[in-house]
Amino acid sequence: MSLATQPIRDLRRQLTAGEIRPSDILDDLAGAIESREPALGAYLSFKLDAAKQAADEADLSLPLGGIPIALKDNINARGEPCTCSSRYLEKGYVSPYDATVTAKLKAAGAIPFGRLNMDEFAMGSSTENAALGRTVNPHAPDRIPGGSSGGSAAAVAAGTAVAALGSDTGGSIRQPASHCGVVGLKPSYGRVSRYGLVAFASSLDQIGPLTRSVDDSAAILQAIAGHDPSDSTSLDSEVPDFSAQLDAGVSGLKLGLPKEYFGEGIEPAVRACVEARVRELESQGAEIVEISLPHTEHAVATYYIIAPAEASSNLARFDGIRYGHRSANPDDLLDLYKKSREEGFGPEVKRRILLGTYVLSSGYYDAFYNRAQKVRTLIRRDFSEAFEKVDAILSPVAPSPARRIGGNSDDPLKEYLSDIYTIAANLAGICAISVPAGMVESDGAQLPVGLQILGPHLGEATLLRVAKAAEVAQG
């Protein structure tokens, strides 16, 4: 069995016993990349030779010593490109610093070696908005891998990465994990430093792991979590041992089923698959409780005001002066700003900047932005009330399995609506995970579907415990 597809714990055991060397893992990864990557397109770049050198020097006594990890291309790593799959950053930007998560992975002995494709600036749910690559679903080449961390999910699913980091602003870790059949964790807001993550919507963004198992997810979260003085929104609270309770099971836990997440719009096969996992958790001793999150129907509208508003402000830094693309023949300074942005950004990024600028503009600010903030408070309150009654919440991740490539390309609203089950967790700042729930038949293909588990703010230990029980239930 290829070392590239083994659990991190098994790799670590073999490494510390001297049965394998870190470069053996990289050799197996290189083989997998060579055979699968040309069709898959998960990577924007990778440096296996440099990684081998780092591997030779890896301190195997560290928790992730010798484990190669691939990064979504919006997470800075010193000396590497960080393109966000945008023409804007395609040429000329080499990162001068490590994001805190990159530094923490290195400090834990891991070896970041590759950059993974994504929707441009993390805006999208399909990886079709990528300007610099095209990633397909490893289960069906005519399907999207999901997005925006589509490269991360596809690489882990195809065995061309042991594990990867992604970012999740409205579902971008969980939804591609669901579509590719891997585990994707969005930590609670403030659990993981955002320093060095190229900002999309700063009040929603979180970095998290995409892995083949819940054990691996806990191991990586352990390495990247914790307070960081460089990110004022990272929380100065204790980081528990995320693996300690993993095998405690769900007996005695109360798990909520929000009625708003199982209604209209969900494909029957997806619903049946998720419900089968719910029944298994019940048979393991969990008490299943029907709950209500009454403001769910407003989540998409709220998110698509707040996220573009923050994006329009964050992306103002790309002005043709400081980073990346600069238009060649501007008439004057204003024209330089305009042309650099016009030439550098793709259509979805422009749409978000326009939307965001509009909702923040004088006269519309109160009607849209302020109102969205109020609804966000109501959505957050829905969850805090629910978590007074239950330990975690179970739901689908997306209404349908991975759609065909090109399917929604002229219908952004339809695409936005498919984020319905994932974005509320970001608006509320709570933690959430997608674990494989099974395969379903959809439009002639067998495709993976995820079960989403949502936990209270900083409730990752319980979240991972429920996730592990759901994973075990499937064998």
Buried residues in 175-201 as b, exposed as e (16+ CB within 10 A): bbbbbbbbbbbbbbbbbbbbbbbbbbb
306 φ, ψ (degrees, to nearest 5): -70, -45
Strands 111-116 and 68-72: parallel
Which positions ≥6 away from 297 have C-beta within 8 Å?
A: 260
By beta carbon distance, the residue nearest ligand GLN is 172
Q: Cα–Cα distance between 182 and 155 in angstroms, integer?
A: 10
Strands 183-186 and 206-211: antiparallel
Nearer to ligand GLN, 398 or 458 (CB): 398
Identify how many contiguous H helices and E strands the chain contains and give both numbers.
15, 11
387 φ, ψ (degrees, to nearest 5): -75, -5
Q: Cα–Cα distance between 31 and 140 in angstroms, integer?
A: 21
- Give the sheet arrangement for strand 111-116, strand by strand: 43-46, 111-116, 68-72, 164-168, 206-211, 183-186, 431-442, 445-455, 392-396, 254-258, 287-291
Nearest by Cα to 148 from 164, 132, 163, 126: 126
Q: Cα–Cα distance between 10 and 323 in angstroms, integer?
A: 42
CB atoms within 10 A of CB 229: 10
Which positions ≥6 away from 2 have C-beta within 8 Å?
A: 28, 31, 32, 159
The minimum distance between CB 318 and ligand GLN, in angstroms, equals: 17
Peptide bond into 400 cis (omega under 30): no
CB atoms within 10 A of CB 78: 15
Residue ranges in contact with ligand GLN by CB under 6 A: 122-125, 148, 168-172, 200, 307, 419
417 φ, ψ (degrees, to nearest 5): -65, -25
- Provide the annotated active-site residues: 72, 148, 172
DSSP code at position 378: H
Nearer to ligand GLN, 168 or 280 (CB): 168
